[in-house]
Structure 1
Amino acid sequence: MADDVPPGFALIETSAFIQHLGGLYRHPETGVFGMRTLPEHANAHLNVHGGFLATLVDVAVSRGTRLTLGDGSMVSTVTMTLNHLEPVPMGSWVEARPSLDRAGSRTVFTSCEVSVGELLVARATAVLARHRPKS
């Protein structure tokens, strides 16, 4: 399946759960995360299940935030809102573009756009708890 990953994206190490879903890729220059949708990600309407997109967003904003902060902070999701704008057909390459909107000492506010090609399929916001490394 690695042969149908767009150029520049590399498989990243992540949890066994994400590996079970097919693996998460990241473009190191753009910071965009991507996953290929598979038949097991389908909902009853044979489009991508919303839970799959929520998982992609959750991991993308968490991993993207940790990389952007760059101080060794860990983060955990406090709340996330995901607005589905368009159905995602099976077999699509789905990209998540996370943004760190504001970082406080204990709370981080993020947003994320999810697209298939040029089509915006979802928008999300998430609040993350920030756990700084012990000195």
Structure 2
Amino acid sequence: MSGGNAVPEGFVPLPTSAFVEHLGGLYHRPEAPEHTFGMRVGPEHANVRGRAHGGFLATAVDVAASRGARAAMADGSGVSTMTMTLDYLAPVDVGEWIELVTTVDRIGGRTVFTTCRVTAGDRLVARGSVILARLRPRG
């Protein structure tokens, strides 16, 4: 990676909602064995201490869990977040690249259970558990 705002090698832009684009966009690493996403923490994501705001990290986990679940189902089902718990383990500085690895733990008829690990460099900075409602396509 070169430059402070460069996207790490192997990550490509992922088309997403206008809301996520407003946050700076979402990237994914298609060659990764798991559902791996990434985002750059910008000054607009900072709290008063100059570090990533918890709300930004929660949004990133929510989006990564949803995208990971949709990819794992691969049947056109949508999802909607029902519950999310998030443990904040370490601060993230502005300028850092965060990676979000989503594991789909269980896909049921009506719900999808996921976990998401957030790292910045080699540090685990957050971990979340997200339960999603499965929205099957209308037939």
Whether TM exceeds 0.5 here: the answer is yes
Bin of the TM-score, shorter chain as denominator length: over 0.9
Quick one: which amino acid aligns to residue 101 of structure 1?
Answer: D
Q: Structure 2 residue aligned with 1:118, among 107, 122, 131?
A: 122
The correspondence of residues 61-72 of structure 1 with structure 2, limited to 5 A, is 61-72=65-76
Following TM superposition, the consecutive aligned residue runs of length 4 or more in structure 1 with deviations greater than 6 angstroms are: none
Q: 1:43 matched to which residue of 2?
A: 47
| Secondary structure class of the residue paired with 2:115 | strand
Instruction: State the superposition RMSD in angstroms.
Output: 1.4
Q: Structure 2 residue aligned with 1:13, among 7, 10, 15?
A: 15
Q: Report the TM-score, using the length of structure 2 for normalisation.
A: 0.93
| Secondary structure class of the residue paired with 1:5 | coil
Deviation at 1:87, TM superposition (A): 0.4
5+ long unaligned stretches in structure 2: none
Deviation at 1:120, TM superposition (A): 0.2
Q: Report the TM-score, using the length of structure 1 for normalisation.
A: 0.96
Q: 1:24 matched to which residue of 2?
A: 26
Identity of aligned residues (%): 57
5+ long unaligned stretches in structure 1: none
Deviation at 1:134, TM superposition (A): 2.1
